[in-house]
Amino acid sequence: MHYPEPISKLMDSFMKLPGIGPKTAGRLAFFVLNMKEDTVLEFAKALVDAKRNLRFCTVCGHITDIDPCQICQDQSRDRSMICVVQDPKDVIAMEKMRDYKGMYHVLHGAISPMDGVGPRILTFLPY
Ligand SMILES: [Zn+2]
């Protein structure tokens, strides 16, 4: 099926997201067409703002909009404990449990000697 170029471009953009194939991309593109322009602009701004304003904490490597991140700035946390995690999603999952009050170190990957990934290959800031 031949779509007008703006719809094709929108579908192509959606297909860059994980788990979005052509069928879902088409459904989302047509959904966006039916949204109010203000809502679309707000959505687009949220995408751009997230990309521009988020960085990695220079202390722990967690994703943040302030550096050091809120966790590293929190003086009530136990600095004698460091939880080493694979990626920022792990920090968020740990924080949701509200049990852990220590610090974090985010590896941004996993050491996997079988795959030839040693500690030197892991970079602190992956992007
Ligand atoms: Zn931090």
Task: Find residue 112's DSSP bridge partners.
Answer: 117
CA of 69 to the centre of ligand 1 (A): 4
Identify the CA nearest to 91 among candidates 127, 61, 117: 61
For the domain spanning 55-115, the CATH number is 3.40.1360.10
pLDDT attached to residue 126:
45
Residues 56-82: tens digit of each pLDDT: 999 999 999 999 999 999 999 999 999
Contacts of 68 (CB under 8 A, 6+ apart): 57, 58, 59, 60
CA of 85 to the centre of ligand 1 (A): 13
CA of 62 to the centre of ligand 1 (A): 5
In this prediction, residues 34-40 reach a mean pLDDT of 97
Residue 125 confidence (pLDDT) above 60: no
CA of 16 to the centre of ligand 1 (A): 29
What residues does CATH 3.40.1360.10 cover in the chain? Answer: 55-115
Higher pLDDT among residues 112 and 28, named by residue: 28
For the domain spanning 5-53, the CATH number is 1.10.8.420
Q: What span, in angstroms and rounded, lies between the C-alpha atoms of 80 and 52?
A: 33
CA of 118 to the centre of ligand 1 (A): 23
In this prediction, residues 121-126 reach a mean pLDDT of 56
What residues does CATH 1.10.8.420 cover in the chain? Answer: 5-53
pTM of the model: 0.71
